[in-house]
């Protein structure tokens, strides 16, 4: 029996655990990346482990999220990250060099390698045949220190692509179709592996768009084979030396199979407020719009930008529409400037933003009240744009550009002329905004530069004998990390300051939560299904930790957030019977008696007592040997410190 591509790469990297479906395995990590919204905490955690220099093949720190410097906080964080990178063996991508996933694809990613990043869209690297996984900052810190990264041996879904995309139908429409079929929960515990003759018709940037938004499925990662198209892309980036051909065996066995005929697809859009709320462009045609934003790690490649420039050429943005465009990297921006496409965009009336995440993470360009905003981004959660009642639609660059001109939602197939973009045989290479680390001989003399906004990691403690406290909050299904720990220009600068940022925790759901939780001292949160979907931000676990949350009991968890809760020492529990969710109310007094002994004994089912209601509710405590030890220790930082001390 042959192996899937996913299994080939994982098997070559397993360093702990039995390589059996459903088991937890530890894999060796070749590369890591961080961005500045999560990076400061990741490097504080790395420092706390006491490892002097990273032990990966390549680690890169990117500045791309908190680039709006409206106060000293972001600038201080960037300076801190830069000094940490120089001292500890990490490459530093300066502000303006571009979005981490776009730059990493261009300059560092390599087929067959493993990559984890403290950003949920790290699976972008699957576009060139990497196993690239989003993770919490602490997991990345451990990997930088040489530790394994642990995942459950995933189910593997085969997506067989046939045919080729029709004119003005794009890679964005492919992943929106997958989301339409599988939903935002459909990829949990799975890797999405693309194969079939249709793969050959897709460029590397198109493949990367598809793997990027695989994060919205809840998938562990997504991956394409490494083939001649991959080689040509790497050759054009002057990195052909890292190319290796990779594909699944012909007799590989998959857990699930999906078939998509690319030639049958039509332009799609994800409607408010979920990436899987998908409709066809023709259904939405004619709807008046207010704003268009083109860019993000999903759709900011040179290929995407050239399509946009072609559509805008000789046209003017509608007077009722604000159009902003953010090229994904300095390389893309520079090539647009050299070939005249940037001038076309400016002539049309587009607002050119710096090469950064910008509006996607809530850093500027919030739409007007109730405004309809078409965005080439990956998430359209309620309030994520910075406007609470903003109506955000996720679309392709082609649809976004023609709609900006017409002032209404427009099916791009109405464009009369055709445009075929040929990938350049050579990209413009200038890595002068990537700062290499100091040589080992000089690392001791490098000073770490800390600003006053940088506060230590929250205090942790081993799991207590019993948890007896109130329910501080009850929330529903599909709670995102944006609900738990909002982003945006006002809050993101506090990412290095857990006491300050915790004052915004869950305020999207209940503005009184931070004060109530702090006053209670310790508490339990109750939630619905797919709790913690979305961004990998570990602050959605660290802020509750600081506010005294001891356990979270839900119907089901999103993968990364559950891991982040364990890393923070917060007990993740699920209802045995989902109907029991309805039996608990906010304010109820709850108890998990003798919980430490039960966890130590490896008991999978615990009893939650609701003392207010006088009832007992069974809950699942699904912890493996390693995650059990992490919870008992009080979190991954404590566990790792102890392991390094004894190792």
Residue 537 known to be catalytic: yes
Q: Which residues contact 501 (CB under 8 A, 6 or more apart)?
A: 485, 491, 494, 495, 539, 543
121 is catalytic: no
- 119 catalytic per annotation: yes
Alpha carbon separation from 443 to 216, 234, 448 (Å, rounded): 40, 32, 11
Concerning whether 304 is annotated as a catalytic residue, the answer is no
State the residue for tokens 């089901």.
556
Give yes or no: 482 in active site.
Answer: no
Q: Take residue 472 and report the two structure tokens written for it.
A: 């501080």
| Residue 626 CB coordination number (10 Å) | 17
Q: Which of 318, 537, 539, 559 is catalytic?
A: 537
User: Which of 36, 64, 290, 610 does the annotation list as catalytic?
Assistant: 64
Please choose, from the candidates 31, 41, 243, 5, the residue with its C-alpha nearest in 3D space to the C-alpha of residue 133. Answer: 31
Cα separation of the two ends of the chain? 38
**Measured between alpha carbons, how far is 430 from 107 in angstroms, rounded to an integer?**
10
Catalytic-labelled residue, pool 36, 76, 119, 411: 119
Catalytic residue among 59, 300, 403, 535: 535
Would you tell me how many other CB atoms lie within 10 Å of the CB of residue 162? 15
Contacts of 27 (CB under 8 A, 6+ apart): 10, 13, 14, 15, 114, 131, 148, 149, 150, 151
Catalytic: which of 58, 65, 239, 310? 65
Active-site choice (379, 384, 504, 539): 379
Task: Give the integer Cα–Cα distance in Å for 361 and 380.
Answer: 10
Is-catalytic flag, 64? yes
Alpha carbon distance 472, 520 (integer Å): 8
Distance between CA atoms of 215 and 259, rounded to whole angstroms?
20
CA-wise closest residue to 620 among 568, 562, 567: 562
Residues with a catalytic annotation lie at 64-65, 119, 379, 535, 537
């Amino acid at each position: 029996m042959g192996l899937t591509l996913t299994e080939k790469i994982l098997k070559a990297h397993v360093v702990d655990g039995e390589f059996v479906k459903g088991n937890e395995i530890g894999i060796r990590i070749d590369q890591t990346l961080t961005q500045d919204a999560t990076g400061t905490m990741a490097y504080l955690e790395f420092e706390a482990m006491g490892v002097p220099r990273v032990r990966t093949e390549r680690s890169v720190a990117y500045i791309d999220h908190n680039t709006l410097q409206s106060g000293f906080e972001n600038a201080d964080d960037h300076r801190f990250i830069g000094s940490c990178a120089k001292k500890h063996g990490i490459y530093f991508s300066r502000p303006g060099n571009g979005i981490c996933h776009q730059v990493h694809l261009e300059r560092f990613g390599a087929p067959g390698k493993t990559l984890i990043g403290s950003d949920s869209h790290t699976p972008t690297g699957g576009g060139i045949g990497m196993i690239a996984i989003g993770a919490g900052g602490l997991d990345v810190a451990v990997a930088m220190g040489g530790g394994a990264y642990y995942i459950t041996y995933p189910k593997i879904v085969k997506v067989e692509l046939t045919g080729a995309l029709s004119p003005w139908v794009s890679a964005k429409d492919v992943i929106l179709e997958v989301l339409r079929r599988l939903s935002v929960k459909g990829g949990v515990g799975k890797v999405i592996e693309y194969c079939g003759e249709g793969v050959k018709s897709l460029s590397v940037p198109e493949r990367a768009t598809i793997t990027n938004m695989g994060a919205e499925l809840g998938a562990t990662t997504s991956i394409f084979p490494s083939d001649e198209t991959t080689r040509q892309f790497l050759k054009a980036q002057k990195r052909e030396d890292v190319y290796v051909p990779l594909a699944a065996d012909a007799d590989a066995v998959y857990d699930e199979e999906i078939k998509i005929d690319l030639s049958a697809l039509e332009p799609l859009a994800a409607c408010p407020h979920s990436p899987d709320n998908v409709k066809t462009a023709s259904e939405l045609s004619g709807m008046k719009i207010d704003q268009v934003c083109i860019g993000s790690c999903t759709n900011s490649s040179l290929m995407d930008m050239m399509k946009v420039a072609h559509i805008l050429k000789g046209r003017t943005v509608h007077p009722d529409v604000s159009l902003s465009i953010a090229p994904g990297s300095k390389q893309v921006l520079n090539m647009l400037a050299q070939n005249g496409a940037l001038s076309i965009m400016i002539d049309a009336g587009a607002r050119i933003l710096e090469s950064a995440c910008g509006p996607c993470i809530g850093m500027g360009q919030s739409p007007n009240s109730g405004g309809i905003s078409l965005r080439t981004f990956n998430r359209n959660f309620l309030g994520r744009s910075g406007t609470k009642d903003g109506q955000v639609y996720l679309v392709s660059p082609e649809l976004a550009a023609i709609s900006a001109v017409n002032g209404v939602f427009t099916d791009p197939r109405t464009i009369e002329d055709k445009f075929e973009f040929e990938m350049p045989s050579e990209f413009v290479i200038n890595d002068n905004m990537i700062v290499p680390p100091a040589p080992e001989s000089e690392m001791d003399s490098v000073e770490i530069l800390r600003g006053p906004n940088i506060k230590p990691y929250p205090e942790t403690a081993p799991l207590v004998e019993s948890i007896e406290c109130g329910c501080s909050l009850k929330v529903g299904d599909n709670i995102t990390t944006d609900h738990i720990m909002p982003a945006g220009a006002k809050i993101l600068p506090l990412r290095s300051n857990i006491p300050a940022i915790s004052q915004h925790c869950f305020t999207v759901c209940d503005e009184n939560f931070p004060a109530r939780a702090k006053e209670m001292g310790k508490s339990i949160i109750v939630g619905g299904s797919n709790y913690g979907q979305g961004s990998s931000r570990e602050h959605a676990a660290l802020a509750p930790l600081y506010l005294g949350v001891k356990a979270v009991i839900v119907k089901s968890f999103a993968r990364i957030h559950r891991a982040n809760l364990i890393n923070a020492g917060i007990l993740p529990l699920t209802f045995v019977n989902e109907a029991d969710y309805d039996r608990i109310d906010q304010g109820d007094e709850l108890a998990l008696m003798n919980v430490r002994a039960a966890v130590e004994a490896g008991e999978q089912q615990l009893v939650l007592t609701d003392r207010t209601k006088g009832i007992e509710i069974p809950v699942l405590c699904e912890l493996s040997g390693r995650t059990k030890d992490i919870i008992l220790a009080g979190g991954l930082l404590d566990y790792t410190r102890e392991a390094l001390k004894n190792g």
